Structure 1
Amino acid sequence: AAFAVFVRACSLFSYLCILDCQREILEGMAHGPWMDTYWLYFLSIAFFIVTAASIAYFVFISANRLYNMSRSKRNENRLKSEAKKAINSDSSMCAVCIESYKVGDVVTVLTCDHIFHKTCIEPWLLERRTCPMCKCDILKEHTFVWKHCMACISLA
């Protein structure tokens, strides 16, 4: 037990000597550039500039995203309204061949009340079964009136 106390006392003594030595070194050492007031001003101003630039960048990016989202929404709404106008309008053109109806043309009126040239719409319906204008499934919508709704009408 006496030996352990002696070791501890020796350790304590050497530790105190090291502390005294470090204190003398710290007291005699000149301050580094991080303690200079101009250096502290420079660091604080640099931090402020970097922070302000980062905030400005993120505000710009957010505003740009918001603008692009609103622009795409406006374009989508505009296209929807134009599509509704095109579907609802009584156009004098066939949507399949993009030609005007002439006197004597044989046309077909679908269940959705859209009118097409008979020669244009029959191959379309055999391949797709939907109206080219509103994508209405002709067979699902009105299967019980198929023959009556596909009646051919001659424009006279």
Structure 2
Amino acid sequence: MARMSSSSCVWLPVLVLQCCFQLSASLSYLSAYVKLRYSDRWTNETVASICECGVFGAHSLQKSASGGIVLPNADPLACSMNITFTASHEPWIALIKKGNCSYSQKILAAWRNGASAVVIYNIDGTGNDTNIMSHPDADDAVAIMIGNIQGTEITNLIKSGTDVYMAIAVGKSYSLWSAAKWAYALSFTFIGITAITLFYFAFLFFKRMYRNQQLRMQLREIKRVAESAIAQLEVRTLRRGDPEVDSEETSCAICTDSFQHNEKVTVLPCRHLYHKKCIEPWLLEHPTCPICKYNILKSKMDEESSEQHSSSSSLDVSFCPPVVMTVTSTHQHHTSDVQTSENHVYCGMDVQTQHIYENPAFEEEPQTLEHPNINNQITTNGEV
């Protein structure tokens, strides 16, 4: 997964740069020189004009064309079925208004009727603004767009009976952005992609470091708990006469050797027996019994929780009654309670103290420690 993410990050800048270059190509267009010539009906003078006011379509043939301008019959938008054109001279150029149907449909309708080129003028209210036409289904024709004002003037001249001649020539290539703006945009895009890639790799690096650190901390904690649990396991030395010594039925499940005299063995809480030198490395790696899968850490945690509970309950003791020592005389006919000069009160303290060993195998018989205050003896008639 890490390799896949790294390879995707490497290819990401390349793909973005490719998209930027494709976008730059789509944002460029080719202009067209439009030359008009017609005869004024009132003065009989020839009027000629030329301007770089046309734009070649995105899928148009980029070459020159000329001819008389012809309007579509019946439908100025040329979107109707079986649209026709009436041309009196060859070659001729179709003049169609934008709207209602696609550019491809308009261009194909004029191309099927024999037009040498197609001129589409913009819709009303757009002035002399032009758009870049997309006509992928009609890429074998010369097609340009001109502004609405110019197209409307030519249409009115033709409708008034004036023959208008048009010549189309290839103009210059332009970009929708200036070269300086495009260079700045491309530079900032590249810097941004590089920064995002670096931040992503840095995020992956620190995330992996954090996970490794957490894993090491968990392993250290588990090892510490395992060592503490191992230290409290019962360890004893085998003596002669023990049923495990030289027994064919009992052997160490780790090394598969039988138990011998004077060998130190560890007894797990599940009562399974192993060599001490065999089971301790095993428990550090796998804190479970090799035979029954008993988890020694579970018992360790249970002991710690019980110790915390007992310590908290001992702190809750706030009162204990005084202990009054009484002595009964055997020479009197009745029993009299004789109290000492002062009452000894023992609160929360046992008379006997038992040594607690970390390993239960080394525990000895409890010894009784007498409190010094108990040594006070009361003698009545020579008896204690």
Higher relative contact order (CA 8 A, sep 6+): 1
Q: TM-score, normalised by structure 1?
A: 0.46
Based on CA coordinates, which of the two structures has the bigger radius of gyration?
A: 2
Which one has the bigger strand percentage? Answer: 2
